[in-house]
Protein backbone atom coordinates (compact mmCIF):
# COMPACT_ATOMS: atom_id res chain seq x y z
CA UNK A 1 0.00 0.00 0.00
CA UNK A 2 3.04 2.11 -0.21
CA UNK A 3 1.64 3.60 -3.41
CA UNK A 4 -1.76 4.02 -1.74
CA UNK A 5 -0.29 6.02 1.12
CA UNK A 6 -0.25 9.67 0.20
CA UNK A 7 1.44 11.08 3.26
CA UNK A 8 4.22 9.68 5.38
CA UNK A 9 4.55 11.40 8.76
CA UNK A 10 7.68 12.92 10.21
CA UNK A 11 8.74 16.51 10.82
CA UNK A 12 12.33 16.99 9.74
CA UNK A 13 14.68 19.18 11.74
CA UNK A 14 18.20 20.26 10.95
CA UNK A 15 20.56 18.38 13.20
CA UNK A 16 22.75 21.46 13.56
CA UNK A 17 19.76 23.51 14.80
CA UNK A 18 19.13 20.95 17.51
CA UNK A 19 22.79 20.80 18.53
CA UNK A 20 23.09 24.58 18.64
CA UNK A 21 19.96 25.09 20.68
CA UNK A 22 17.72 26.68 18.07
CA UNK A 23 15.08 24.00 18.62
CA UNK A 24 13.39 23.50 22.00
CA UNK A 25 15.05 20.47 23.52
CA UNK A 26 16.29 19.06 26.80
CA UNK A 27 19.90 18.10 27.37
CA UNK A 28 21.07 15.41 29.75
CA UNK A 29 24.32 13.64 30.44
CA UNK A 30 23.88 10.43 32.40
CA UNK A 31 26.66 10.03 34.93
CA UNK A 32 27.17 6.32 35.41
CA UNK A 33 30.36 4.57 36.38
CA UNK A 34 31.07 0.87 36.52
CA UNK A 35 33.34 -1.66 38.11
CA UNK A 36 33.28 -4.73 35.89
CA UNK A 37 34.45 -7.93 37.56
CA UNK A 38 37.12 -9.50 35.41
CA UNK A 39 35.81 -12.94 36.34
CA UNK A 40 37.55 -16.30 36.27
CA UNK A 41 39.16 -16.61 32.86
CA UNK A 42 39.74 -12.97 32.16
CA UNK A 43 41.50 -12.50 35.52
CA UNK A 44 43.96 -15.21 34.45
CA UNK A 45 44.45 -13.44 31.14
CA UNK A 46 45.11 -10.07 32.77
CA UNK A 47 47.45 -11.61 35.37
CA UNK A 48 49.33 -13.18 32.47
CA UNK A 49 49.65 -9.90 30.63
CA UNK A 50 51.19 -8.35 33.72
CA UNK A 51 53.87 -11.06 33.54
CA UNK A 52 54.35 -10.57 29.82
CA UNK A 53 52.45 -13.73 28.87
CA UNK A 54 49.37 -14.29 26.74
CA UNK A 55 47.16 -16.89 28.42
CA UNK A 56 44.73 -19.15 26.63
CA UNK A 57 42.45 -21.91 27.87
CA UNK A 58 42.16 -25.48 26.62
CA UNK A 59 39.35 -27.87 25.87
CA UNK A 60 40.60 -31.45 25.42
CA UNK A 61 37.29 -32.75 24.12
CA UNK A 62 37.11 -30.22 21.31
CA UNK A 63 40.89 -30.18 20.95
CA UNK A 64 40.98 -26.39 21.12
CA UNK A 65 43.34 -23.84 22.57
CA UNK A 66 41.25 -20.72 22.93
CA UNK A 67 42.26 -17.13 23.21
CA UNK A 68 40.98 -14.94 24.74
CA UNK A 69 40.64 -17.61 27.41
CA UNK A 70 37.22 -18.52 28.72
CA UNK A 71 36.06 -20.48 31.77
CA UNK A 72 33.90 -22.82 29.72
CA UNK A 73 34.00 -24.17 26.17
CA UNK A 74 31.03 -22.69 24.33
CA UNK A 75 30.99 -25.65 21.93
CA UNK A 76 30.79 -28.61 24.32
CA UNK A 77 29.62 -26.50 27.27
CA UNK A 78 32.05 -28.00 29.76
CA UNK A 79 34.51 -26.19 32.02
CA UNK A 80 37.84 -25.70 30.27
CA UNK A 81 40.58 -28.17 31.16
CA UNK A 82 43.23 -25.63 32.00
CA UNK A 83 45.17 -22.54 31.10
CA UNK A 84 48.30 -22.37 28.94
CA UNK A 85 50.67 -19.71 27.74
CA UNK A 86 50.47 -18.87 24.07
CA UNK A 87 53.19 -17.24 21.99
CA UNK A 88 53.21 -13.48 21.61
CA UNK A 89 53.73 -13.83 17.87
CA UNK A 90 51.11 -14.34 15.22
CA UNK A 91 49.87 -13.50 11.75
CA UNK A 92 47.61 -10.74 10.54
CA UNK A 93 44.17 -12.14 9.75
CA UNK A 94 42.70 -8.80 8.71
CA UNK A 95 43.51 -5.13 9.31
CA UNK A 96 42.31 -1.59 8.90
CA UNK A 97 43.59 1.97 9.16
CA UNK A 98 41.15 4.20 10.98
CA UNK A 99 40.79 7.91 10.42
CA UNK A 100 37.83 8.06 12.80
CA UNK A 101 37.76 8.31 16.59
CA UNK A 102 35.07 6.90 18.85
CA UNK A 103 32.88 10.00 18.71
CA UNK A 104 33.03 9.94 14.89
CA UNK A 105 35.46 12.88 14.89
CA UNK A 106 38.29 12.70 12.35
CA UNK A 107 41.96 12.05 13.10
CA UNK A 108 44.96 12.78 10.90
CA UNK A 109 47.29 9.93 11.76
CA UNK A 110 45.39 6.69 11.26
CA UNK A 111 45.10 4.16 14.06
CA UNK A 112 46.15 0.75 12.74
CA UNK A 113 44.02 -2.12 13.99
CA UNK A 114 44.09 -5.83 13.26
CA UNK A 115 42.90 -9.25 14.17
CA UNK A 116 45.97 -11.33 14.90
CA UNK A 117 45.92 -15.13 14.82
CA UNK A 118 48.31 -16.04 17.63
CA UNK A 119 50.88 -18.80 17.25
CA UNK A 120 50.12 -21.76 19.47
CA UNK A 121 46.39 -21.16 19.64
CA UNK A 122 43.92 -23.15 17.56
CA UNK A 123 43.41 -22.01 14.00
CA UNK A 124 41.36 -18.87 13.66
CA UNK A 125 41.72 -17.91 17.33
CA UNK A 126 42.47 -14.29 16.74
CA UNK A 127 42.69 -11.41 19.14
CA UNK A 128 41.98 -7.81 18.44
CA UNK A 129 44.82 -5.31 18.87
CA UNK A 130 46.71 -2.37 17.44
CA UNK A 131 49.63 -2.42 15.01
CA UNK A 132 52.72 -0.22 15.37
CA UNK A 133 56.23 0.51 14.05
CA UNK A 134 54.78 0.67 10.55
CA UNK A 135 55.70 3.83 8.64
CA UNK A 136 53.18 3.29 5.86
CA UNK A 137 50.09 1.22 6.51
CA UNK A 138 49.83 0.35 2.83
CA UNK A 139 52.80 -1.96 3.43
CA UNK A 140 50.75 -4.16 5.76
CA UNK A 141 49.95 -7.55 4.26
CA UNK A 142 47.53 -10.31 5.08
CA UNK A 143 49.43 -13.17 6.68
CA UNK A 144 52.25 -10.87 7.80
CA UNK A 145 54.08 -12.14 10.90
CA UNK A 146 53.86 -9.83 13.90
CA UNK A 147 55.09 -9.81 17.49
CA UNK A 148 53.78 -8.14 20.63
CA UNK A 149 55.59 -5.05 21.89
CA UNK A 150 55.19 -5.03 25.67
CA UNK A 151 55.31 -2.19 28.12
CA UNK A 152 58.24 -2.52 30.56
CA UNK A 153 57.26 -4.77 33.50
CA UNK A 154 57.01 -1.88 35.99
CA UNK A 155 54.46 -0.12 33.79
CA UNK A 156 52.19 -3.11 33.32
CA UNK A 157 48.91 -3.08 35.21
CA UNK A 158 47.22 -6.26 34.08
CA UNK A 159 45.44 -4.73 31.13
CA UNK A 160 45.09 -5.40 27.42
CA UNK A 161 47.17 -2.27 26.93
CA UNK A 162 50.16 -3.95 28.64
CA UNK A 163 50.83 -4.91 25.04
CA UNK A 164 51.37 -1.56 23.36
CA UNK A 165 50.80 -2.97 19.89
CA UNK A 166 52.05 -5.70 17.54
CA UNK A 167 54.95 -4.91 15.21
CA UNK A 168 56.13 -6.64 12.02
CA UNK A 169 58.37 -9.52 13.02
CA UNK A 170 61.07 -8.99 10.37
CA UNK A 171 62.36 -6.18 8.23
CA UNK A 172 60.70 -3.58 10.52
Q: Show contacts with another protein in window 70-99 (CB under 8 A).
A: 70-72, 74, 79, 93-99
Minimum Å gap between C-beta 169 and another protein is 20
Contact in structure between 83 and 100 (CB atoms under 8 Å): no
Which listed residue (51, 76, 142, 155) binds another protein by CB under 8 A?
Answer: 142
Residue 103 within binding range of another protein, rule CB under 8 A: yes
Q: Which stretch binds another protein (CB under 8 A): 12-20, 53-61, 83-91, 148-156?
A: 12-20
Burial of 140 (0-12, 13-18, 19+ CB in 10 A): middle
# binding residues, another protein (CB under 8 A): 73
Q: Are strands 54-59 and 145-150 parallel, antiparallel or unpaired?
A: unpaired
In sequence order, what are the beta bridge partners of 171?
none
What part of residues 28-67 is at the interface with another protein (CB under 8 A)?
28-30, 32-38, 40, 42-43, 46-47, 66
Residue 42 vs 149, nearer CB to another protein: 42
Name 62's Cβ contacts closer than 8 Å, sequence gap at least 6. 73, 75, 76
Q: Count the neighbouring beta carbons within 10 Å of the beta carbon of residue 7.
A: 5
Minimum Å gap between C-beta 110 and another protein is 8
Which listed residue (62, 84, 149, 160) binds another protein by CB under 8 A?
Answer: 160
Contact in structure between 112 and 121 (CB atoms under 8 Å): no
Name 168's Cβ contacts closer than 8 Å, sequence gap at least 6. 133, 134, 144, 145, 146
Which listed residue (126, 146, 148, 166) binds another protein by CB under 8 A?
Answer: 126
Minimum Å gap between C-beta 106 and another protein is 8
Residue 161 within binding range of another protein, rule CB under 8 A: yes
Amino acid sequence: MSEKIKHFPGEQLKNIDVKEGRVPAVRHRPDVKYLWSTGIAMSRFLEGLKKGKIVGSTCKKCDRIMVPPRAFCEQCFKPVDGYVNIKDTGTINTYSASYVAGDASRIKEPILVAIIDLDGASEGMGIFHLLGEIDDWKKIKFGMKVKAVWKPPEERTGAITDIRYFRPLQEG
